[in-house]
Amino acid sequence: MSRLTKRHAAKRDAARRRARVRRIVITSCAGLIVAVMVAAFFAFRGGGSERTTAHVRQQPVTSDSAETSVNVFDNDFEPRDLTVHRGSTITWDFKAKHPHNVTDDNGGFASGTLAQGDSWQFVADKTGAFTYSCTLHHAMQGTLTVID
């Protein structure tokens, strides 16, 4: 190999090394951006007490479990539409910053007004569809359907 070709080969190797470093840097940057976006998504989802989700679409939930929880956020229940089996226990966990209540529109059950950190349980001993709301915030509406 002539000196010239050797120098050329060395130059080419150096260029390849630089390209590899650039690729690694670009890949880790992209990875970091994705990680930050995923973290931001979960931070937003887990926004807890400050969250107002009345405008957010929710999927109805059917629980086969003997115990099911419903989150009470400011202005929303989650899940809004819950179906459980007769005899199961539903626990409403009050995670909202402001006080709320769980009140059956037809008088079948009422939690009374509770604060952040409280929870209230109800045993679904009758089948049927029960609409309930927070009497302080009428936009907060939920449905509890009890099946056999």
Alpha-carbon gap, residue 7 to 2, rounded angstroms: 9
Q: Which of 90, 102, 114, 134 binds Cu ion (CB under 5 A)?
A: 134
Contact between 137 and Cu ion by CB under 5 A: the answer reads: yes
Distance, in Å, from the CA atom of 72 to the CA atom of 93, rounded to the nearest integer, reads: 6
Told to check if 15 binds Cu ion by CB under 5 A, we report no
Considering only the stretches 23-31, 81-89, 116-124, 137-145, report the one whose residues sit in contact with Cu ion under the rule CB under 5 A: 137-145
Structure tokens at 140: 């907060």
Q: List the interface residues with Cu ion, window 82-121 (CB under 5 A).
A: 100
By the 10 Å C-beta count (0-12 exposed, 13-18 middle, 19+ buried), 25 is classed as exposed
Smaller CB distance to Cu ion: residue 95 or 100?
Answer: 100
- Is 51 a binding residue for Cu ion by CB under 5 A? The answer is no
Residue that has been written with the tokens 């400050």 in this structure? 50
Please report whether residue 72 would count as binding Cu ion according to CB under 5 A. Answer: no
CA 135 to chain centre: 25
| Binding positions for Cu ion, rule: CB under 5 A | 100, 134, 136-137, 140
